[in-house]
Amino acid sequence: MIGILWNLGAFLLALGILIAVHEYGHFWVARRCGVFVERFSIGFGKSLWRKVGKDGTEYTLAMIPLGGYVKMLDERVEEVPADKRHMAFNNKKLWQRSAIVAAGPLANFVFAIFAYWVVYLIGVPAVRPVIGEVAPQSIAAQAGIESGMELKSISGIKTADWESVNLAMISHIGDKEMVLTVADAEGGYESQRTLDLSAWSFDPESDRVLTTLGITPYSPEITLTISQLVDGGAAIDAGLRLNDEIVSINGETVTQWQQVVEAVRSHPEQPLALEVMREGELTALALTPGAKEGPGGEMIGYAGFAPKVEPWPESYRINLQFGPIEAIGKATEKTWQLVTLTFDMVTKLVTGDVAMKNLSGPISIAKGAGMTADYGIVYFLGFLALISVNLGIVNLLPLPVLDGGHLMFFAIEAVTRRPVSERVQDIGYRVGSAILVALMAVALFNDFTRL
């Protein structure tokens, strides 16, 4: 219950910030174009708080926090006194109306740059994208990718860390090939490798992009020494102690921690005979793992212990931290990468290269908000930047109920030299609303199937 409330709180905070940024973009440009703004509202429905500013605008915080709006003086909506007609939105020049509408999505992009600028000022700990293993006969192996290589860029996009690698690779869904620039194990000589994606099968919902290509990131050695025990867990009940080193399970010698994981998971509520090295002596123990339901509904075992992991080599660790000026360039570059990736994904959603089941709604966003809030301000800001870019691009889609639809009507007006008729606009709004509701229904359905 606490987790749900935490996710909800983080979601509302994130949504409130992004809505305020988007609507403020419209508001700021409207004021500079001489349009009178009657109301600036965060949320819909009944007002929880309101205040009329010296500028005559009513600022409102409403009950339903799933959007917002800027109500401008407009003769198409209501009668406007003669002395205020020059301040009505509909009486402004075409470029001014276009600027006001486009300012909302633009504000989202500017906010993403600002958020990443703060992130890079604070610094983000990361590791270099060095390849640990390459699966035989995989797409990566066939392209000549080898263990120890470092991924420097993907199709021209620089990849300083694994997050950048994942974003760049996901953008290639539906493409025929992917060009990687890699450095050899010594980190000196760079070369290009072309991955043939014609047989690539990747489901963002269930697969890891690297795994489907046959790449496993380098990670420090996982030892067989126990470093953590869960209170009340099966491991403590069995008599296991910190610093015990697992030697064998059911008489079979153990050399990798994955063998321990597989043995425990495959023996729910079934005894396992363990031998551990404790202070230089072999000790025999009986471990009976607990049982819980796995992702596929099957019962799997768990024991409540974790191994000691060797520290990352210093040469692999990096801190993405920059000065105030350099951080602007890095933040702009990161935002542009997200913009192009999101545009690509939207296009591939329309063409069918990305399945509709990968569309996410507010529940998935709430989970993401809560998770990143747990990790700290840097990761929460990164999440805000990602969602802000998505919000900006979605609003640019040419659906009449969105900013992109208004811009589409303005573009037609620029060509025909006369506004689109109200009848055509009304039909457009109805069709656009139906499409938007259908997309939201699919997104919510996908959210519920993931619960």
Q: How far apart are CA 364 and CA 61, in angstroms?
A: 25
Phi, psi at 422, each rounded to 5°: -60, -30
Q: What residues form DSSP beta bridges with 290?
A: 302
Number of residues assigned to the chain: 451
Q: b vs e for 292-324, b when ≥16 Cβ sit within 10 Å of the residue's Cβ?
A: eeeeeeeebbbbbbebbeeeeeeebeeebebee
| Measured distance CA(215)–CA(162) in Å, rounded | 12
Q: Where are the beta strands (DSSP E) in 3-94?
A: 37-52, 58-72
388: amino acid identity, one letter: S
Closest CA to 362 of 2, 3, 10: 10
21 with 108: CB under 8 angstroms? yes
Q: How far is CA 146 from the centre of its chain?
A: 29
| CB within 8 Å of 309: residues ≥ 6 apart | 220, 221, 222, 223, 227
Rg for the chain (alpha carbons), in Å?
28
Buried b (16+ CB within 10 A) or exposed e, 10-48: bbeebbebbbbbbbbbbbbbbbebebbbeebbbbeeeee
Structure tokens at 437: 């509701």
DSSP 226-277: EEEE-TTSHHHHTT--TT-EEEEETTEE--SHHHHHHHHHT-TT--EEEEEE
CA distance 441 to 450: 14
**Who contacts 141 (Cβ-Cβ below 8 Å, separation ≥6)?**
134, 135, 214
How far is it, in rounded angstroms, from Cα 79 to Cα 69?
Answer: 20
Measured at the alpha carbon of residue 421, what is the angle toward residues 30 and 43, in degrees to the nearest 5?
Answer: 40
Give residue 100's identity as a one-letter amino acid code. Answer: I
Annotated catalytic residue within 23, 279, 314, 422? 23
Known catalytic residue: 23?
Answer: yes
Catalytic residues: 23
